[in-house]
Amino acid sequence: MLLKITSLSAFDKTEIVHYYNNETNEIFDAQLKEVDVAALTGIEKKPYKTCDRALFPIKKTRSLSKLKIQLGLKCNFNCSYCAQAESRHLSKSDSLGDAESFIASLCREELSIKPGGRIEFWGGEPLVYLKTLKKLIPALRDMYPETEMHIITNGTLLTYELVDWFIEHRVSLAVSHDAQGYCLRDLVDPLTVTRIKNVWLYANQKFREAGLSFGFNVVITRANCDLLRVYDYFQRHFSPETNFGFEGIVQPSTPCDILSEKDAETLEIHIKYILLYHQEQFKSITDSVNKVLRALATKRPISMVRARCEAPNSDVLVVDLKGNVISCQNYSHATHKIGELSNYDNILSAQFRHWKHKDIGCKDCVVVQFCKGGCPLQNDENCINDNIFHLAIFKTAWFLLFQADIQKIENFESL
């Protein structure tokens, strides 16, 4: 799809016209002469092997890059926009499998974790399942002594003793916290509760000393789209040495979660300012813009774009303690079971839908190369937040290339 992109020069406010091909990542000027983005950015050109990533693998391999263990979907919070909210009621009455038989199944199947791979523990809220974790983690540490282990938690159940215990077993932690946007989760921000804040400060120091990561994962919502304040928030309410990154934008569960035009404008302005003046403080946003620049400079073909996340990959396995293999940790086995550990060769990873086969217009979308069609388990017409976020990143990359603000994007083929 060829798109006509009209922008306004930051210098003299004149209109500039370019054409962008979302399949080849090529940009042409108004005379249809190709723009050499590699020369403009100093990014090295890179040949891509011809490949078609339009199909997802069906089988799972025994050599894994990621093993995600879903402990259960229970949580001590009830955040309005939780990606697991729909599945939670389905697993309410589920009894948990036991850690011993789970470990025995892993041994029997001889699953290995590749160098650089990792094991993740997922809830719900993983610390609700502390008794299970206490059995599981030491056993897994014996089996996979070198493998990175990681937990994403809301952090409210963390204690000093647990911090020490996680460090002893070399499990890194990320606390899910949306800075000034926390008000959409709960009335009481844990950073205002002295007991919790002190434990987090202790963790911040101890994990750092142990060479393990500890930080905050922030989801962008309408309550924190003024991203520059996120840095100030953690500086003021937590520590000058806060490590945080963005997990992306909230997937709307209700119309309230959708960013308004004004929110989108705020997000765009803040991302642009971050790239111009605050790259050091906002590494994950800077990385996202750099990825766009790299894709444009190397002219990454759309055939290289597979999926938003790694869940469809053959070497990523999501499993619960009963040995149910699930397509993604955010869903219950009741709806998303794709096989069983005990019948490994017959796991059928068939629930994913490639963006090419979605009927929501991904092919014609200006940000398809970066949004990658959204969640591969959804054919979600309501991708407006994804569109807002990726467009803000794309517009910032455009500004860095041409010092011009995008005003209009039109389908050139239908003009």
For binding to ligand SF4 (CB under 6 A), which residues are involved? 83, 308-309, 311, 328, 330, 355, 360-362, 365, 367-368, 371, 373-377, 383, 386-387
Beta bridge pairs of residue 404: 9
Place of tokens 């073909």: 301
Sign of CA dihedral 279, 43, 313, 117: negative
The three-class DSSP label of residue 33 is coil
Q: Which is nearer to ligand SF4, 81 or 234 (CB)?
A: 81
Residues 6 or more apart in contact with residue 37 via CB below 8 angstroms: 27, 43, 293, 296, 297, 299, 401
Q: Which is nearer to ligand SF4, 293 or 371 (CB)?
A: 371
What whole-number distance in Å separates Cα of residue 40 and Cα of residue 17? 17
Smallest separation (angstroms) from ligand SF4 to the CB of 371: 3
Phi and psi angles of residue 217, each rounded to the nearest 5 degrees, phi first = -100, 120
Smallest separation (angstroms) from ligand SF4 to the CB of 70: 11
Q: Which is nearer to ligand SF4, 234 or 370 (CB)?
A: 370
Q: Which is nearer to ligand SF4, 140 or 326 (CB)?
A: 326
Smallest separation (angstroms) from ligand SF4 to the CB of 274: 21
- Which strands sit side by side in the sheet containing 244-249, from one edge to the other? 244-249, 214-220, 171-176, 148-153, 112-122, 63-70, 316-320, 324-326, 337-340
Torsion over CA of 76, 247, 335 and 105, rounded to 10 degrees?
-80
Smallest separation (angstroms) from ligand SF4 to the CB of 393: 12
Smallest separation (angstroms) from ligand SF4 to the CB of 288: 14
Q: Which is nearer to ligand SF4, 117 or 374 (CB)?
A: 374
Q: Which is nearer to ligand SF4, 242 or 385 (CB)?
A: 385
The three-class DSSP label of residue 269 is helix
Q: Which is nearer to ligand SF4, 167 or 328 (CB)?
A: 328
The three-class DSSP label of residue 195 is helix
What whole-number distance in Å separates Cα of residue 95 and Cα of residue 390? 40
